[in-house]
Structure 1
Amino acid sequence: MQHMEPAEEKGEDEEKGTCSIDGSESLSDEHRQYLLARHGTVALDPMPCMSPADPYNWPTRKKEINLALVAFHAMMATFTSAAIHSSLVPIGHDLHVSVQRATYLIALVIAILGCAPLFWRPLANRWGRRPIFLLSLLCSLAGNIGCAKSPTYNTMALCRAITAFFISPASAIGSAVVSETFFKRKRATYMGIWTIMVTCGVPVAPFIFGFLSQRVNYRWIYWVRTVGRKFNQAD
């Protein structure tokens, strides 16, 4: 019975989509035919399981849609800090604080975005990516609503801190999603796409929301971002 245990363990791993195979030499005929039918080759690195649950076996379109959602989520983290750059004067007038003090709302978010990923990465490794992303979407959505309705400076600072903390998981585990989805030969390309999306948040957010702040009201920055979080959650 001892020789059956490795096979049973392998079967459990394949169901989870987390098996690890050294190379094509150790593949069974059934596994080889599965990979040839799905990928057209067995020269794959890493070597995926014989299971559709393995992200490496997902269709390319599904992988790219997943990457787009994760990258958009990560970009919203930098949007959070940069969105009010062009609205500091209206914020100061509305909340009865100086422009210098209004800038602390940006510095607060930057500080949290720099530290919070250290908290989220172990949780994602323990509980999985999906629950963390869903928690991130829901709580950052609530934080943006709180910012839009904040009557005082302290309340807005608290709500921005909550938003920054809960929106940071994508920055922490987004690169891991790329590594766990794409084969090494294509990984650099998709990692570059993810990086560009994250980086674009800083210059793009003030450009877009500056017009919004001038034409309507700076609080609409938070309402628009709330809609964006809801859209991402729906997808």
Structure 2
Amino acid sequence: MPPNQSQTDPAWPPGTVLIEGATTKLYFSDTKDKVASADKTKDLSRPGDSEVVLQPRPTRSPNDPLNWPLWRKNLNFALVSYYVMMVLALIDVATVTWGELNLELGFSYALLNDSYAAGCGSLCIGGLFLVPFALKYGRRPIYVFSTAIQCGMSVWSAKMQTVADLMLVNILSCIVGALSEVLVQMTVADIYFVHQRGLTNTIYFWFMTVGVTLSPLAGGFITQSQGWRWVWWWMAILFGAGLVAFIFLYEETMFDASPIDGVPVADKLDPKPQPDKGDLERSAMDKSDATQEGQPMPEVFQIDYSIPEKTYWQKLALWTNSLVPFSEVGKHCYQPFVILFSIPGVFFMAVVYGVMTACTTVPVTTLSSVMTLPPYNFGASQIGLMGLPPFIGTTLGAMVCGPLSDSIALSLAKRNGGIFEPEMRLWLAIAFTPLVPAGLFMFGIGLDKGSHWLLPAFGLGISAVGIVPPSSAALTYLTDSYTDIIADSVLGVTFVRNLISTVFIFALKPWSDRVGLSWFYVTFGLISTVVLLGNLFFIYYGKMLRVKLAGTYHHYSKKQLRSRPN
């Protein structure tokens, strides 16, 4: 639906877009030649497919991140992915040092478990304080600032002596680390089109899992060979390398579609082309009158190189000051909660993502507190090796889910007359649902019964395969459905996600002591199954909810600091 319409066409609620239709091209122009010839055409669609409509609409500015060459987009995304991996590594590598901490500093396993849970709780609130700065001053300064802080936290951890040190480094590093979840979705929405987001979110989730699963593996061997303090010195070195990369390579992705030379960017787009009858048939614009009236026809976009492109040093300015006063930014500290409880889709995807995250983090803490005891008696390196099964499972899940997420969405859109619905991504999550409880049952029951370590390891791998599709689908569904309020939406999701992880980690010890480890994981698996089956409800009724709550969405969209024309 065009953003200036006051009423929402039921056929085109927020998130419903035309992504298979008349050919969409990007033309290059300069001050002398405003309309390029056909031989200067560059197709921005998928390789070999010239009929993917670009959503959201790029502007004509060469500085618009949507118009960047793919290598620039991918370089920025690679840096962000490295940042995510390191933040998750900083949080989860600590678990393999627990045995040494217990021996050297006398920290009990209950205290260590509580320190981990306190960090998860801090992840709930960190973004609420820091993301408003990203909306005001841009993504770049926040990435640089948080990387520097995490580097300092690693040094503090390396010099840890007291319980206060233990708690403070966990809490403070996680407050800053909360940005890793929110800023990534803002960056994805800044630089990638709708038909590219499924793959990028899968890659993002894979890097998260690398940080969670492989950091204990490396940390375990470092603990045994160099001592537990060197785990944190290596983290400081790696964060330092990331800081240098962000300073010299990461470009700001926040783009202000403000008037250029007094003319609004949106108005400088070329007029809508008049497709012939064949184009109309391909794009299914004759499917219904509502389709033609409710959704803009595919457009021809041009990059206007008469607009000055930023120099290298301008691209690397430390911050970009938005014209919106900071008093307007403060509302983003509470607005995520209002959106969370006003839009069911946001709340449900937050619960899905939270439960899937708990399915990753709870077993990590279980390994460190159970497998160090008889009959396993695992050392730090052996505990670290248990990170390999979930890493392999996540990699397999990402290899399947990444390409399938976008290709299934495009295929279903084509069958739907070229019209994409965000709910189309949820079918893949349903297909992988049985793997999550199956893996949790094998892991928990196997540990409780003292089975050979291969059984819980296999369970970890199976559940990891199943966790990837619903996690990726939840994030992509939010980005596709609620693009204009993605920052506030993901802040709400982050709060719920980490709250759920915190509750399960705090409850793990007393709950398993009361009913046994087997019944804890059986119950945990059943809860995850019920939550994931809720995707079926949204597959069938999600669009109806988006139609009914379109007014709410547009209300909060207008309160955002900027909104790209769609």
Q: Same fold, TM exceeding 0.5?
A: yes
Aligned residue for 1:229?
A: 239
C-alpha deviations, 1:4-58, integer Å up to 9, x for none? xxxxxxxxxxxxxxxxxxxx99x99957649x95843594222222222211111
Secondary structure class of the residue paired with 2:58:
coil
Kept in 2: contact 1:88–1:103 (CA 8 A): no
Secondary structure class of the residue paired with 1:51:
coil
Aligned residue for 2:140?
A: 130
- Give the total of aligned pairs: 212
Q: How does 1:80-229 map to 2 (within 5 A)?
A: 80-229=90-239
Task: Name structure 1 gaps, 5 residues minimum.
Answer: 1-23
TM-score where L is the length of structure 1:
0.79
- Which of these residues, 26, 40, 43, is aligned with residue 43 of structure 2? 40
**Per-residue deviation at 1:114?**
2.8
**Per-residue deviation at 1:126?**
1.9
Return the letter of the residue paired with 2:118: L
Return the letter of the residue paired with 1:139: I
Aligned residue for 1:69?
A: 79
Provide the C-alpha distance between the structure 1 equivalents of 2:106 and 2:28, rounded to a whole number of angstroms. 72
Secondary structure class of the residue paired with 2:191:
coil
Return the letter of the residue paired with 1:223: W
**Per-residue deviation at 1:118?**
2.8
Task: Name structure 2 gaps, 5 residues minimum.
Answer: 1-22, 46-52, 246-566
Return the letter of the residue paired with 1:70: V
Provide the C-alpha distance between the structure 1 equivalents of 2:44 and 2:94, rounded to a whole number of angstroms. 50
Return the letter of the residue paired with 1:160: N
Secondary structure class of the residue paired with 1:46:
coil
TM-score where L is the length of structure 2:
0.35
**Per-residue deviation at 1:189?**
1.0
Change (3 A) 1:130 1:41: closer
Aligned residue for 1:6?
A: none
Return the letter of the residue paired with 2:162: T
Provide the C-alpha distance between the structure 2 equivalents of 1:59 and 1:29, rounded to a whole number of angstroms. 13
C-alpha deviations, 1:93-136, integer Å up to 9, x for none? 22222222222332222221233223333321122101111110
**Per-residue deviation at 1:162?**
1.9
Kept in 2: contact 1:120–1:172 (CA 8 A): no
Q: Identity of paired residues, percent?
A: 24
C-alpha deviations, 1:136-184, integer Å up to 9, x for none? 0111111111111122221232123222222221211101101111112
Change (3 A) 1:33 1:131: farther
**Per-residue deviation at 1:76?**
2.1
Aligned residue for 1:5?
A: none
Rg larger in structure: 2
Provide the C-alpha distance between the structure 2 equivalents of 1:60 and 1:225, rounded to a whole number of angstroms. 30
Deviates more, 1:208-217 or 1:41-50: 41-50
**Per-residue deviation at 1:82?**
1.1
Kept in 1: contact 2:134–2:142 (CA 8 A): yes
Return the letter of the residue paired with 1:209: G
Aligned residue for 1:10?
A: none
Runs ≥4 in structure 1, deviation > 6 angstroms? none
